[in-house]
């Protein structure tokens, strides 16, 4: 009984020490960089601390004698530790997304679910739209995220104010048919989406968000999207 109690106390003390170290590193690195740090976590590599903030990962020691910006690879497994951690740290809780702000499309049974942040003047988004048009049995939530130009905002408003948003979006993104009509309805959803994207550190378009919260920025091969969607449906 005493042995178990001593082990428990030791674990608590070690945990508190680790937390104190991480807190001190966090305070020091914020002062050093003059930037907000989201989290500091002790890594199992060379006594380094993982520092996450402003959408990127840095590494440093407890004295901040070095600050490393780059990819950390596990020498034994050759896995990309930084990429795996970034995937977890940038994950978005899908159930927290305000889906009422998105343009919704349902095809087939709609079991596969995908959300995207897209700018109507984004070339990669247009390519994605043409590829996604080939997907079946999917529910798509497209958040209009006009961050490239004033014209992007104008087009987003026109699409949002159209009688059939999905149709207008697809005609523009897939066929190049410019949105018509005025964006003079209640377009607060577009502004709220911009604010949402900024709060989630969505810095580029397209950005995909899968049902498990994984965020994937940039152009993604359709085979990768299909594989991920099928895995998520199969895991339910």
- pLDDT at position 235 is 66
Length of the chain counted residue by residue: 236
Same domain, 168 and 120: yes
**Helices 150-161, 188-199: crossing angle, 10 deg rounding:** 130
Q: What is the pLDDT along the chain (236 residues), one digit of tens a residue?
A: 444 433 433 333 334 445 558 999 999 999 998 888 989 999 999 999 999 988 899 999 999 999 999 899 999 999 999 988 988 888 899 999 999 999 999 999 999 999 999 999 999 999 999 999 999 999 999 999 999 999 999 999 999 999 999 999 999 999 999 998 788 899 999 999 999 999 998 989 999 999 999 999 888 899 999 999 999 987 65
Mention every residue, 6+ apart, whose C-beta is less than 8 A from residue 72: 43, 45, 48, 59, 80, 81, 82
Give, in order, the Cα–Cα distances in Å from 70 to each of 39, 47, 54, 57, 187: 17, 16, 15, 8, 40
Within a domain: 74: yes
Q: What are phi and psi of 107, to 5 degrees?
A: -130, 140
For the domain that residue 54 is a member of, what is the CATH number?
3.10.450.70
Mention every residue, 6+ apart, whose C-beta is less than 8 A from residue 148: 119, 121, 122, 205
Same domain, 108 and 193: yes
- Last residue in a domain, options 45, 61, 86: 86
Query: What's the pTM value of the predicted model, to 2 decimals?
Result: 0.77
- Last residue in a domain, options 86, 118, 140: 86
- pLDDT at position 13 is 31
| Structural domain of 43 | 22-86
Record the tokens describing residue 83, joined without a space.
Answer: 């990429």
Residues 46, 93: Cα–Cα separation, whole Å: 32
- Last residue in a domain, options 86, 104, 130: 86
Question: How many separate domains does the chain show?
Answer: 2
- pLDDT at position 20 is 55
For the domain that residue 210 is a member of, what is the CATH number?
3.40.30.10
Within a domain: 9: no
Residues 97, 172: Cα–Cα separation, whole Å: 25
Within a domain: 57: yes
Within a domain: 29: yes
Same domain, 53 and 145: no
Among 11, 193, 54, 225, smallest CA distance to 127 is for 225
- pLDDT at position 12 is 35
Within a domain: 210: yes
- pLDDT at position 180 is 85
Same domain, 54 and 135: no
Same domain, 126 and 230: yes
């Amino acid at each position: 009984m005493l042995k178990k109690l001593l082990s428990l106390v030791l674990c608590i003390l070690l945990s508190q020490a680790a937390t104190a170290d991480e807190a001190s590193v966090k305070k020091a690195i914020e002062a050093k960089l003059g930037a907000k740090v989201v989290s500091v976590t002790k890594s199992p590599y060379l006594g380094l601390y993982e520092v996450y903030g402003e959408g990127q990962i840095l590494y440093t020691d407890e004295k901040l004698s070095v600050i490393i910006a780059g990819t950390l690879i596990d020498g034994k497994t050759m896995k990309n530790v930084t990429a795996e951690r970034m995937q977890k740290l940038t994950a978005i809780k899908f159930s927290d997304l305000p889906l009422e702000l998105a343009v919704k499309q349902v095809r087939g049974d709609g079991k596969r679910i995908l959300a995207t942040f897209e700018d109507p003047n984004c070339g990669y988004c247009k390519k994605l739209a043409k590829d996604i048009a080939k997907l079946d049995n999917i529910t798509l939530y497209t958040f209009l995220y006009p961050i490239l130009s004033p014209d992007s905002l104008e087009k987003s408003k026109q699409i949002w104010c159209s009688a059939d948003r999905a149709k207008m979006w697809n005609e523009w993104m897939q066929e190049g048919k410019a949105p018509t009509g005025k964006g003079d309805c209640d377009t607060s959803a577009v502004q709220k989406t911009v604010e949402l994207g900024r709060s989630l550190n969505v810095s580029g378009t397209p950005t995909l968000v899968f049902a498990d919260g994984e965020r994937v920025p940039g152009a993604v091969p359709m085979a990768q999207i299909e594989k991920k969607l099928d895995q998520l449906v199969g895991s339910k």
